[in-house]
Amino acid sequence: MAGYSVQERDVAVERDPDDTVSVSVTIDESAGAEQLLQRVMRFGQGRSRSRVAEERDEIGYVVSGSGRLTLDAESHQLEPDMGFYVRAGESYEIDNTGGSDLVVVSVTAPEPSGELPYTRKVTVRVADQPVLPAGKDREFRFVINPDAGCADVTQFVGMIPPGRAPTHYHLYDEVIYVLDGEGVLHIDGQPDTPIEAGTCIYLPPPTQHCLENTGPIPLRVLGVFHPAGSASEAYEDTD
């Protein structure tokens, strides 16, 4: 498969009457993604049931809402534009303390096979991370990556100004969630696809692609890729 996209609102919602969370599985094996699984989770008010991912790391990002994440009896504040990292086998609950749903984009990946980094951060605020360049006029910030103790996955937030960047490809598996703005997804050999907040994208390597910002404001995207590396590691087709 050369690439895949879907709008979150078009994906079926799974609800457990005994839990506070509803889940939309937006990208999985049916989209061709063998390493990464992307879900959008909406936590209602109150405390969720305990969740655990056996043999898979979980990397989350708070889109909206507020609350607390309890990870093995330790409590961590959750707020918009914050990433969190749960290692395989760890259990956690999310307590929604706000007045609206706490919306999380969750991506799971295979448990690392090697030695884990000594450093460990459970939560990381985007605003606390340095701004890094990613080509002309584009920038990004790492959120969860090896610096946070996540050995095999990188999570970042990227900003794309109005206009179109060169078509390029990566050597890693990547899933994207559009946070703000509007534009067009260009994938080699496929019809152009409009994108907006809530669009979910899967890009296997080495898919030729480009995200074009057709709106008046920056296109802000949440990206997660495996294996870990730099979000600026892109290759242009010179043939």
pLDDT digit string (tens) for 142-177?
999 999 999 999 999 999 999 988 888 899 999 999
Instruction: Give me the domains of the chain, ranges plus CATH numbers.
Output: 4-125 (2.60.120.10), 126-226 (2.60.120.10)
Q: 107 falls in which pLDDT band (50, 70, 90)?
A: very high
Residues in the chain: 239
pLDDT in tens, 23-57: 999 999 999 999 999 999 999 999 999 999 889 99
Residue 18 has pLDDT above 70, yes or no: yes
Residue 67 has pLDDT above 60, yes or no: yes
- The residue behind tokens 């655990």 is 52
Q: 20 falls in which pLDDT band (50, 70, 90)?
A: very high
Residue 234 has pLDDT above 70, yes or no: no
pLDDT at 238: 45
Give the global pTM.
0.95
